[in-house]
Structure 1
Amino acid sequence: MGRVSQGTRGAIAFMTLLPLGGSLNAVSLVVIPLTGLIVGSVAFVGFWLGDRSGSALVGAVVALIVDAALTRGLHYDAVADTADGLAGFVTRERRLAIMDEPTVGAFAVVALVVVVLVRVAAWSSITFPAFVIGFFVLSRALMALAMMWFPLAKESSMAQVFASQRRRWIIWALIAEALIAIVVTALLATSLVAIAIVFGAGCGFGVLALAVRRLGGITGDVVGAVGLVAESGMLLATAVMRVHG
């Protein structure tokens, strides 16, 4: 029980700013998707409070701020670093070095602007229905599965902490969590939400494929970028379907 408690608190503390302590272990990987419930629910409340002003756009901006604050901006920073590292025509070693640098390049700025605009526009359009919380869970399930399935691009990466815990039961547990999230999300919305989920997952796998091709594997930044890109893709697809009936 102690190991379970440590792993649970460690996952929540790592994925959010909640100071719960704990340590990262195999249990942490299984808990990672569940942290999406926390972040998604708080962002939902943030949108609701902002929407009380009479503007869905204000609600979307508040939800974005809450999302970024609660996750300490980790995933947004990961998108920036990954964009700088995967873009351009340089060697693999140089790409990894760029991702470790504290500076921000043009590709990072463009990627962040696109992600922020997509999320704000989508939330403004669909007004953050409760089923969107499922997207937060699914994006984190994809992040955890990526650390189970894909090789590491370098040893000194946060992803290595989790990859060292690779167990078959963890993969099955993550898949089960993802399936439950898909079913619940579809029940709260419509079966068409499956299209949005597939599109978002495809966006995430696209980042993974590019990382494997150009880096030879994944890093902690790549994993974080995969989650945020997949989540944003699901939001975008949902907004497009909502607009076009």
Structure 2
Amino acid sequence: MNGFVGAVQFLTRVPLRTAVAVPHASAVAWFPVVGTLIGVAVGGAFAATSELTASPAVAGAVAVVAGLLITGAFHEDGLGDMSDAVAGGTTPQERLRILDDPLHGTYGVAALASSIVLRTAALGSMSPALGLAAAVSAHTLGRTAATVIIGRVGSARCSGLGATAADAVREPGRTLGVIAGIAVCAVATGWWVAVLVPVAALGTAAVVTVARRAFGGINGDVLGAVEQITEIAVLIAVVALARSHDLWWR
């Protein structure tokens, strides 16, 4: 269970009684599970607020804020950094230097605002039950995407999560984690999983393609961007599916 604790420590700001020194490689397989727990919390916040206020728009905003608080805007920071670097640099070296800048520029702020607005709007168009299922699926698949690409896509640097975990990620554990993530999505949405997983894969592939061209590989910031783009893509896909189909358990 040390891998699970390590994943919670890495992906969230949830206070634990005792900190555990866990190699990133041991925690990677647990990313989808932790993503599910985050999704349950975010979806629960959405459903509860929607029932209390009868305002999906308010509930969507509360849910997104809840996610920001739980994760410490960890993934959003990666999206902002990557956006600044891709748009502001002209060479891989210059872009990597921009990634190290702790301050966000215009492109980073615009990317962060866009992410928050899109997720809030998507959730704000859903019923309490649909929002819960969507949040669980989006957060789970967002972290599952990171589990898939770590160690399978070259690292932009010799240090950081993309490099330190790459050679040590154990394939059986990774595979089980990915299967668990997809299974959770299937339970939450039924046959919609056949649409949501390819959508998540396309979002992931788009970010990875940009990262390879811009930096020569991936790093922690790119993984954060992968989670964000995947989460947004899944939420939008749920909105589209819900127009003509109902959840299997409704």
TM-score, structure 2 normalization: 0.88
2:137 corresponds to 1:134: yes
Q: Which residue of the other structure, out of 12, 20, 23, is the alignment partner of 1:22?
A: 20
Q: CA deviation at 1:134?
A: 2.3
Q: Residue 119 of structure 1 corresponds to which residue in structure 2? A: 119
Q: Residue 248 of structure 2 corresponds to which residue in structure 1? A: none
Counterpart of 1:9 in structure 2: which amino acid? V
Kept in 1: contact 2:196–2:237 (CA 8 A): yes
Counterpart of 2:34 in structure 1: which amino acid? T
Aligned pairs (5 A) from 1:36-185: 36-51=35-50, 52-88=52-88, 90-127=90-127, 129=130, 130-132=132-134, 133-185=136-188
C-alpha separation between the residues in 1 aligned to 2:4 and 2:94?
36
Structure 1 residues 71 and 205: CA distance shift in structure 2, 3 A: same
Kept in 1: contact 2:60–2:120 (CA 8 A): yes
Q: CA deviation at 1:174?
A: 3.0
- Between 1:207-216 and 1:192-201, the stretch displaced more is 192-201
Kept in 1: contact 2:142–2:231 (CA 8 A): yes
Q: Percent of counterpart pairs with the same letter? A: 26
Structure 1 residues 82 and 194: CA distance shift in structure 2, 3 A: same
Kept in 2: contact 1:125–1:239 (CA 8 A): yes
Q: CA deviation at 1:135?
A: 2.2
Q: CA deviation at 1:194?
A: 2.8
Q: CA deviation at 1:195?
A: 2.1
Structure 2 unpaired stretches of 5+: 246-250
C-alpha separation between the residues in 2 aligned to 1:6 and 1:161?
18
Q: CA deviation at 1:244?
A: 5.9
C-alpha separation between the residues in 1 aligned to 2:94 and 2:225?
19
2:215 corresponds to 1:212: no
Q: CA deviation at 1:89?
A: 5.0
Q: CA deviation at 1:142?
A: 0.7
Q: CA deviation at 1:8?
A: 1.8
C-alpha separation between the residues in 1 aligned to 2:187 and 2:121?
24
Kept in 2: contact 1:9–1:22 (CA 8 A): yes
Q: CA deviation at 1:111?
A: 1.1
C-alpha separation between the residues in 2 aligned to 1:16 and 1:87?
28
Q: CA deviation at 1:87?
A: 2.0
2:11 corresponds to 1:8: no
C-alpha separation between the residues in 2 aligned to 1:150 and 1:125?
35
C-alpha separation between the residues in 1 aligned to 2:140 and 2:179?
12
SS of match in other structure, 1:149: coil
C-alpha separation between the residues in 2 aligned to 1:42 and 1:172?
25
C-alpha separation between the residues in 2 aligned to 1:182 and 1:54?
26
SS of match in other structure, 1:45: helix
RMSD value, Cα: 1.9
Structure 1 unpaired stretches of 5+: none
Q: CA deviation at 1:148?
A: 2.5
Q: CA deviation at 1:152?
A: 0.6
Kept in 1: contact 2:186–2:192 (CA 8 A): no
Kept in 2: contact 1:80–1:112 (CA 8 A): yes
